[in-house]
Structure 1
Amino acid sequence: MKIVRVEAIPFSIPYLKPLKFASGEVHAAEHVLVRVHTDDGIVGVAEAPPRPFTYGETQQGIVAVIENVFAAQIVGLTLLQREVAHQRMRRTIGNPTAKSAIDMAIWDALGQTLGQSVSNLLGGYTDRMRVSHMLGFEEPQKMVAEAERMRSTYGITTFKVKVGRHPVSLDTAVVRALREHFGAEAELYVDGNRGWSPAESAAAMREMADLALLFAEELCPADDVLGRRWLVAQTTVPSIADESATTPAEVTREILGGSATAVSIKTARTGFTVSQRVHHLAEGLGIEAVIGNQIDGQLGTACAVTFAAAYQLTSRRAGELSNFLDMSDDLLAEPLQIRDGHLRVPSGPGLGVAIDPDKLARYRTDGRA
């Protein structure tokens, strides 16, 4: 069970259409495949999706920090020394996605070695998750049409609506159009990606007060602590901390400080090890935890559903598990399938997935075989 090699392989897969939101837009999945090899011949895998406009990581930076810093810290450890790996990587500031991918690849290798699914090793609460679909910026009619396609094709009835544009009325009109189209059948919540000021956010929430929103996520700047605290006091809709709560310490600060009332867990950002800590903290604080999405591909989505299904708290709400549908292709040998609004945890040991070597050869961008 000893780790003998860590790989970071950049790849690029175009999106069928760009995903647009307040902090940027994405035209291709320029991600990194991380592989952890053991002396037993086991290979654990995970996906690192960089979001430079949110966390400051780039594809090239993730490859460099893994190859030049983290690999040397990890090689020689056993798969059971996850805490040692975590503490060694913590000495390097930032780089959450690179660290998380290594962590999840180690868990995958451990599950394969033990012949157990990672979801069962983590908690094994359920074998599937309800799915929420993220709707990026578009005109109201187009966003309603996309949501209807998701309902009719995949059975999805929970939608996370990207907001944060100016004027505010652009987005409130979209949410109203969605509610009028779906009635009470759909669950709707909004995500501002820090695009509005606290005053704009409060005005928008008043305008949408009759739309039965499930949550409001990161409407105003993550570092505006007083503004966020003021905003929470203005609305009865639960406020999800996302970019403002990327570590257990930040979750504690946001919740106890009154700047949020729920938290988003993204395995792409906190792996399995730190996501466990955020989950346990949320459970102890008595707050809701939703499974977020860093515009993951299918491998990243497999990681997210693996964690989400392991616990009662994270499986209570629909998880953001469908953005891979916007990609033109993927790396998995057996694609994930969303049916009747649910995504099952892949069966089999570890993450239960395998990389298609031909697809990896087609989409990798480092020129290596």
Structure 2
Amino acid sequence: MKIDRIEAIPYSIPYSRPLAFASGYVSDAEHVLIRMHTDEGISGVADLPPRPYTYGETQQSAMAVVETIFAPAILGLDPLERGKIHAILNRTVHNQTAKGAIDIALWDIIGKSCDKPVSSLLGAYTDRMSVSHMLGFKPASELLDEAVSIRAEYGINTFKLKVGRRPLALDIEACHVLRDGLGSDVDIYLDANRGWTANEALEVLRRTEGLGLSLLEEPCDAKETMSRRRLVTKSAIPVVGDESVPTAGDVSRELLSGGCNAISIKTARSGFTEAQQILGLCTGLGIDVVMGNQIDSQIGTLATIAFGAAHEATSRRAGELSNFLDMSDDLLAEPLTIINGTIKVRDVPGVGADIDPERLERYRQDR
């Protein structure tokens, strides 16, 4: 079996509710659908979500690197030659979501060729993942109303609060209102997307002490080396690296330097292969992990579930799997469903992301 063609299809789907965070704002999911074809008629699918304000990739640059750099170098190779393919991809620095999408498409082909779900090939620890839901940048009362509604409709009991782009007092108020309104059995954690300084993060921790917050994600820029190390030392809860740790090398640097003591794994930027390397580093060092979200579509969410459910460490915490609820539509032929706060792994060969051709035709941008 040989790779004989790779498609990079740009598409755009509006968000029903634009999403904002400290590092950026999105009103449309301007992604790239990767379809990798083989000479035996088996195809692999993956979603590529560029995030220009975080990693510097755009829809146009991602398409260009796939079509002009990566595809010509790996055409003719067997999808099982992942080591050789990754050595080729790694000659080019950065472009993490492009590399991640190619890797996921490879695994999709491998699963289909073996007639096995990819999650089974990766580890098959469980058949479902618990879901966390993202809240952000509304008045505290509206955030509480949203959380109560989401919990009632989907059974979700874990909430990630986006902070860091408004006065500290508003973020602190939101923490108190959510805890008071949701009760002590709900998991609440914070993500500042580098929006604070280390000293501001310490102030927030001081003023939210006793609320039972579980994690503090990417509170400040990793370039604040000394201050961030001091924050990690003083924080009573794990400080999670996210944007600062897109690769296994970055993970080892931040953990060994004391820049964080927990890691967000995102398959959209690491694929499954490097995500395994990252997970191995973390489990070997006794470091907590959480399955993060790149504002993924349902296609990308399926990939996160496939990896997260495959391993014990990645399934301990709720994964960030609900951002697709804010998209007005999707490309999947069979939409995802959240039941009792969980999403099941699809028991089909590959990752399970069958594309609806009519939806793809409606939203593609290269016509």
TM-score interval (norm. to shorter)? over 0.9
Indicate conservation of the 8 Å contact 1:21/1:136, yes or no.
yes
Which letter maps to 2:333? A
Aligned to 1:143: 143
Tell me the equivalent position of 2:53: 53
Which AA in structure 2 matches 1:63?
M
Q: 2:117 matched to 1:109?
A: no
The answer for the alignment partner of 2:119 in structure 1 is 119
3-state SS in 2 of match to 1:116: coil
Q: How does 1:259-338 map to 2 (within 5 A)?
A: 259-338=259-338
TM-score by length of 1: 0.98
Matched ranges for 1:1-369 at <5 A:
1-367=1-367
Q: Distance in 2 between matches of 1:75 and 1:344?
A: 34
Amino acid at match of 2:36: V
Match of 2:183, SS?
A: helix
3-state DSSP of counterpart to 2:54: helix
**Which residue type is aligned with residue 172 of structure 2?**
T
Distance 2:251 2:303 in 1: 21
| Counterpart Cα distance in 2 of 1:180 and 1:321 | 25
| Deviation larger for 186-195 or 137-146 | 137-146
- What is the rounded CA distance, in whole Å, between the counterparts of 2:142 and 2:13 in structure 1? 24
Per-residue deviation, 1:166: 3.3
| Cα distance per residue 1:319-346 (max 9 Å; x no partner) | 0001001100000000011000001011
Q: Could you tell me whether the CA contact under 8 Å between 1:19 and 1:137 is conserved in 2?
A: no
In 1, the alpha carbon distance for the partners of 2:146 and 2:33 equals 29
Report deviation, 1:243.
Answer: 1.0
Secondary structure at the residue paired with 1:4? strand
User: 1:136: how far off?
Assistant: 2.3
CA RMSD of aligned residues (A): 0.8
Take 2:131 and 2:38, find their aligned partners in 1: how far apart are those partners? 34
**Does structure 2 retain, via aligned residues, the 8 Å contact 1:214–1:238?**
yes
CA distance in 2: counterparts of 1:49 and 1:249, whole angstroms? 22
- What is the number of residues matched between the two proteins? 367
Query: Scaled by the length of structure 2, what TM-score is found?
Result: 0.99
- Whether the aligned pair in 1 keeps the contact of 2:222 and 2:259 (CA below 8 Å) is no
Measure the CA separation in 2 of the matches of 1:94 and 1:248. Answer: 13
Per-residue deviation, 1:255? 1.3
Give a deviation string over 1:242-294, Cα, whole Å, max 9, x none: 11111111111211221111100000010000000001111101111100000
Distance apart, 1:185 and its partner CA: 2.3
Displacement of 1:140 in angstroms is 1.0
Q: Percent identity?
A: 54
The alignment partner of 1:53 has SS state of coil
Supply the AA of the counterpart residue of 2:25: E
Q: Distance in 1 between matches of 2:58 and 2:256?
A: 32
User: Could you tell me how far apart the structure 2 residues matched to 1:38 and 1:222 are?
Assistant: 41
Amino acid at match of 2:16: L
- Tell me the amino acid that sits aligned with residue 63 of structure 2: V
User: What is the CA–CA distance in structure 1 between the aligned matches of 2:64 and 2:253, rounded to whole Å?
Assistant: 32
Aligned counterparts of 2:359 and 2:190: Cα–Cα separation in 1: 35
Contact preservation (8 Å) 1:223, 1:244? no
> Post-superposition shift, 1:57?
0.3
Separation in 2 of the partners of 1:134 and 1:349?
30
Q: Matched residue of 1:174: which SS? A: helix
* Deviation sequence 1:28-48 (CA, Å, 0-9, x none): 111110000001101100001
8 Å contact from structure 1 (residues 265, 289) kept in 2: yes
Is the Cα contact below 8 Å between 1:18 and 1:27 reproduced in 2? Answer: yes
Q: Secondary structure at the match of 2:97?
A: helix
Give the distance between the partners of 2:78 and 2:136, measured in 1 at CA: 42
State the AA in 2 paired with 1:185: D
Q: Distance in 2 between matches of 1:153 and 1:163?
A: 24
Of residues 298-307 and 165-174 in structure 1, the stretch that sits farther from structure 2 once superposed is 165-174
Shift of 1:165: 2.5
Q: 2-side partners of 1:47 and 1:137: how far apart? A: 27
Distance 2:53 2:251 in 1: 21
Q: Which amino acid aligns with 2:6?
A: V
The code of the aligned residue for 1:54 comes to T
* Residues 47, 101 of structure 1: 8 Å contact kept: yes
One-letter identity of the residue aligned with 1:44: G
C-alpha distance after superposition, 1:31-85 (max 9, x if no partner): 1100000011011000011110000000111111111111011211101101111
